[in-house]
Amino acid sequence: MRPERKPAGEGLLVLEHFLPYRLSVLSNTVSGRIAKCYERQFQLTIPEWRVMAVLGRFPGLTAAEVTERTAMDKVQVSRAVARLKKTARIEQRAVEGDRRARHLFLTAAGHEVYSEIVPLAREYERRVTQDLSAVERAQLERLLDKLTAAAMKL
């Protein structure tokens, strides 16, 4: 239940109505709930799953490109990549002309985990949005795209 909206006094930030805060709470809640499943069943953290998810869609990205696409911190991506390599879920291949950069790919074991998680993730998404009509879901997509574009301009 949403708290009653009250006008803010001069210089007062009503946190529960502040868009960045509300988006953060929503994101943390949604990610945290599904992460319990990933962690319990697949021993994956949220950053590790995000790396796997983006590589499942865009194989061969570098860690820097994964960082860009996921908007995660460089250190988070680096740690996730290191752990995924250690658990043999991703592999690295040299980038021609750049001795430091490496292309990242899911291994066979990584693809197996990915193919098991995708239906779970899709079902979770369906459950989170089940109370929205098709029109509301489409509107939400448009609004998220607009907010993302506006945030990128800042």
Beta strands in the chain (DSSP E): 90-95, 98-106
**Cα radius of gyration (the chain):** 19
In the chain, where the domains are located: 20-124
Please provide the CATH number assigned to the domain covering 20-124.
1.10.10.10
Let me know the angle formed at the C-alpha of 55 by 117 and 49, rounded to the nearest 5 degrees: 40
Beta strands in 2-50 (DSSP E): none
pLDDT for 91: 97
Question: What number of other Cβ atoms are within 10 A of residue 69's Cβ?
Answer: 17
pLDDT for 97: 80
Ranges in the chain, pLDDT < 50: none
pLDDT for 8: 56
pTM of this structure: 0.83
Instruction: Look up residue 41 and give its two tokens.
Output: 């069943």
pLDDT for 96: 80
- Cα gap 5→10, rounded to integer Å: 16
Question: What number of other Cβ atoms are within 10 A of residue 119's Cβ?
Answer: 9
pLDDT for 138: 97
pLDDT for 95: 77
Nearest residue to 82 (alpha-carbon basis) of 125, 41, 47: 47
